[in-house]
Structure 1
């Protein structure tokens, strides 16, 4: 398993988690974040802390996704140039192009 495939798996997982966290949020405060601490005054954490947690997790996951994408691109570029430098050109035989002979001396 290459490092690029590991990065790709991590990118898919972080993307899925980011979608889930974004879908849980409601900008008006009436989504799932309010149902976790919904009705009473004896709530653990409260709605404000839940929305703060979701907001921080959104930014953290988005930053992590950006870093993973950049690292996978750097990894892909470094392995691509390494593979290009491993190409052995000693065994390659290229034939010279054949040019047709012209008889300029016969026309004089």
Structure 2
């Protein structure tokens, strides 16, 4: 398994975890933190601490995802070929063969303009 494949798997896993953490949060203050609070009358573990954990985990996963994506660029196997484009080299002329012309099928259209108008 190549290094790039390992990075790709890590990127997919981190992206999935980031989606899960974001979906657990509720922008109006509900979500997971309100279920631990018991509707605001009773606190089990503290609502503020749950919100802080979800917020910190979101930022951590987002930063990790960005770093993995940037580092994976280094791990891409380029096959030993030059990274420069052949289109930018003025000395190189790439010619492609033209496709063979196919003859159009013969049609038996013997209608005159008077016939096509219904006269």
Give the TM-score, by structure 1 length: 0.68
1:56 offset after TM fit, Å? 0.2
Q: Which has the higher helix share?
A: 1
Alignment of 1:1-108 (within 5 A): 1-39=1-39, 40-44=41-45, 46-76=46-76, 79-80=77-78, 83-84=80-81
Any idea what SS the aligned residue of 1:84 has? coil
Corresponding pairs, count: 81
Q: Which has the higher contact order (CA 8 A, sep 6+)?
A: 1
Runs of 4+ in 1 over 6 A off after TM superposition: none
Contact 2:18 / 2:58 at 8 angstroms: preserved in 1? Answer: yes
- Gap runs ≥5 in structure 2: 83-119
RMSD of the alignment, in Å? 1.6
In 1, Cα distance between equivalents of 2:63 and 2:33: 22
Deviates most, 21-30 or 58-67: 21-30
